[in-house]
Chains A and B, each alone.
Chain A
Amino acid sequence: VTWLQKPIFVTGATGFIGGRICERLVLAGATQVRALVHTVQHAPRIARLPITLCTGDLLNRESLRPAVGDARVVIHCALGQASGILRCTKNLLEVAADARADRFIHMSTAAVYGEKPSPSCETEHAPLRRTGDSYCDNKARAERAVSRFVRRGLPAVILRPSIVYGPYSFWSTRLLKALREGHVALIDGGKGACNTTYVDNLVDAVFLAIENQHAVGESFFITDGEQITWGDFVRAHIAMMNPPPTVPSISSEEVITHYRQQLGLWASSFSEARRVLLSVEFRKMLLQIPACERVLSAIWSRLQAFDQGTQQRLKAKIRGTSSTIGLLTLNENGKYIPDLTTWATESHTVFFRIDKARQVLGYTPRIPFAQGITLVEQWLRFANYL
């Protein structure tokens, strides 16, 4: 009996990566796959599969116990937001440890080194440092939580992909939309490191991390192993379009100059004030004031009356969401300027090395970029995006 015949539990299963993991498990012959479903409306893709859908909430540890059950393998791909990333991961680690799972796969991200990693971060040996970005720092905290559970005996493995693309990926669907709207610029001529990981290559790495005893307690960068730039990635999508749009270039210097001018005293103060007001620490302090506690509790109860989807949308609106490709602003000369997250992501030139994954996991990326992008195009056409 291999691990495929044992109970397997997947979180984030209604998402892009988790959904593909479920599909691949079915293709591989897994017969006892259980997928955690937080928002039922997102389940149509995995509802096609012969797997069990379990409703539950990673923020509610007790709701996870019946869902995880006797799972031998736990694959954690749920995304989460801000501090929820850590809470969700801790809850699942607790439940998996209690269930004495044989393997816990934690889907982390290369962004634990920040949206604009330094050249020293091209291998996994680089220490994790605070980046100032909520998503990156919380993913790093989640990794540390996983490591603590490894020391307590949970056989866990951390995988760090970067730009995971493939059918169903928003990297492609949002990019096409942005290209159509003229909201894409190639930063520094598109020479930034894209660090693509075709989703099936990542799933290969997940399977290898489950099978390989030497993987326990380790973290691995997972990419396609090709030096694909953002220019390559964007141009591959342009080639799918008819007529192909023209995309301007913009230098990092222009972007930085623009935001230096924009973020004057008031703007930067507002931005920082917003961060403080939305921080957990500030909320905790507010709760110590009885009147504030009453008001916040009333707001919280009101929020609970909405369904999960509406709750998430409201929370995202309040917090603001980090933008990705395509969300640009206009400078005084009418030129589109990428937002700072996009600039950071697309301007760094660090290609993460996968030597460790090759050596320890035996990982070989079997879908090269050219083949991956062809499959993406087939899917985009089927799904009416092209």
Chain B
Amino acid sequence: MLGKIRLGILGCGAITQNAHLPTALRDPCVQVTALVDADLNRARLLQRFVGPSCEVTERFSNVVGNVDAVIIAMPNHLHASTTIDALKAGVHVLCEKPLALTAAEARACCEVATRKGLVLAVGMNRRFDDRRVLLRRALEDELLGSLTGYDWQCGSPWEWETASGFYFSRAQAGGGVLMDVGVHLLDSLLDWFGPVNRVDYQHDDWGGGIEANALLKLHHFGRFGEISGSVKLSRTYNLTNRLMVSGSAARAVLPEADRSLITVHRLLGGHEASMTLRLTESYSPDESFSRQMSDFVESIQSHREATVDGWQAVGVLDLVERCYAQARRLSEPWAELDKARHEVGA
């Protein structure tokens, strides 16, 4: 492809304003040529950062021919159908996670991308954090010894400045904390530890709502052998916000607050000692969204698969579906008090 990639951004909500648009504007290989949003005011608001030459419209169909690639950052329920529309129009796609609400829909997206020979990347920006490489190398070098388990807690009171509020609609979001931040964690875990052959899942959806808290127990069988671990997710409580991977020789701690490092704890001369690992080589110049954009651009330019392609998203959604299918209600004894006797004075 000669010259800059003409990029359209579909969906002008918070993630576009805070991450995708600034990243695209910084990328020398990209020219933002279109902003699309059902709410034209949102699109016009962001157009001010791009310039008047950037087309602003309500529908993707209006910008076909003016874009080589698109970022899809619309409410979740529109991801799959818009991805398919874009691919069918001959446009490369970087779709925000989750790629679809179901694995079947995600598979359909992948099939169209394969048939059309186009790039389908999924916005799992955490995969471009330094710690992904650091932990993988630590595991490959057997720094932790043989793996014994992991514990990942990720949660804090919800603060995302959502523009549309779709996150709280099951029909539009497809789920709660598992479908939102959970898919990031599952994607990383599948990447590090391989496929999951057993899963146990509990959440606090009262039936017909969307979960704010979830507990997962996963058993992997991958290149580092068998490993079991637990994941705790929350949109209401502050959790420890770190991943701890334990092995026979040491344990690695990956804090959510700084995704550029891991800390390895082990016994040294009978006493606990720790060392912090950071990448010293120039892995990539910028933060995860920039790296994700660069990866998308390179995939288009060199006709290769994206680092996080659609098929990997199918694997994650397949696991999400398994979780939801066997979901058990999280025990909340403080809340269930009234189950037996809700009628006052009865």
- Seen from chain A, the residues whose Cβ lies within 8 Å of a Cβ on chain B are 23-24, 26-29, 40-51, 53, 55, 166-167, 200, 204, 207-208, 211, 307, 309, 362, 364, 367, 375-376, 378-379, 382-384
Q: How far is the CA of A29 from the CA of B344 in the complex (A)?
A: 13
Q: How far is the CA of A50 from the CA of B211 in the complex (A)?
A: 11
Q: List 30 A-B contacts (CB under 8 A).
A: A23-B206, A23-B335, A24-B342, A27-B338, A27-B342, A40-B167, A41-B159, A41-B162, A42-B158, A43-B158, A44-B157, A44-B177, A47-B212, A49-B208, A49-B209, A51-B209, A166-B334, A211-B345, A309-B161, A362-B345, A375-B334, A376-B334, A378-B334, A379-B332, A379-B334, A382-B237, A382-B332, A383-B237, A384-B237, A384-B239
Contact yes or no, A45 B344, CB < 8 A: no
Residue B131 interfacial (CB < 8 Å): no
Contact yes or no, A208 B344, CB < 8 A: yes
Q: How far apart are A30's CB and chain B's nearest CB, in angstroms?
A: 10
Known interface pairs A27-B336, A42-B158, A50-B207; 8 further A-B residue pairs with C-beta atoms within 8 A, sorted by A's residue number: A44-B157, A44-B212, A48-B206, A49-B206, A166-B334, A200-B338, A364-B345, A375-B334
Closest to A383 in B: B237
Q: How far is the CA of A207 from the CA of B238 in the complex (A)?
A: 32
Q: Mark B236-269, 1 if CB is under 8 A from A, else 0.
A: 1111100000000000000000000000000000
CB contacts (< 8 Å) of A48 on chain B: these are 176, 204-206, 209-212
Residue B235 interfacial (CB < 8 Å): yes
CB contacts (< 8 Å) of B238 on chain A: these are 384
Sorting the interface of chain B by its residue count into under 10, 10 to 19, 20 to 34 or 35 or more gives 35 or more
Contact yes or no, B335 A45, CB < 8 A: no
Residue B339 interfacial (CB < 8 Å): yes
Residue B333 interfacial (CB < 8 Å): yes
Contact yes or no, A50 B209, CB < 8 A: yes
A55-B209 CB under 8 A given contacts A200-B337, A384-B240: no
A204-B206 CB under 8 A given contacts A41-B159, A48-B211, A383-B237: no
User: Which residues of B in the span 177-227 have a Cβ within 8 Å of any Cβ on A?
Assistant: 177, 204-212
Q: How far apart are A346's CB and chain B's nearest CB, in angstroms?
A: 25
Q: How far apart are B69's CB and chain A's nearest CB, in angstroms?
A: 30
CB contacts (< 8 Å) of B22 on chain A: these are none
Q: How far is the CA of A53 from the CA of B209 in the complex (A)?
A: 10
Closest to A198 in B: B337
Q: How far apart are B52's CB and chain A's nearest CB, in angstroms?
A: 22
Contact yes or no, B168 A53, CB < 8 A: yes
Closest to A204 in B: B344
Contact yes or no, A167 B206, CB < 8 A: no
A55-B165 CB under 8 A given contacts A29-B342, A208-B345: yes
CB contacts (< 8 Å) of B209 on chain A: these are 46-51
Q: How far is the CA of A115 from the CA of B209 in the complex (A)?
A: 39
CB contacts (< 8 Å) of B339 on chain A: these are 27
CB contacts (< 8 Å) of A28 on chain B: these are 338, 342-343
Q: How far is the CA of A48 from the CA of B205 in the complex (A)?
A: 5
Contact yes or no, A50 B206, CB < 8 A: yes
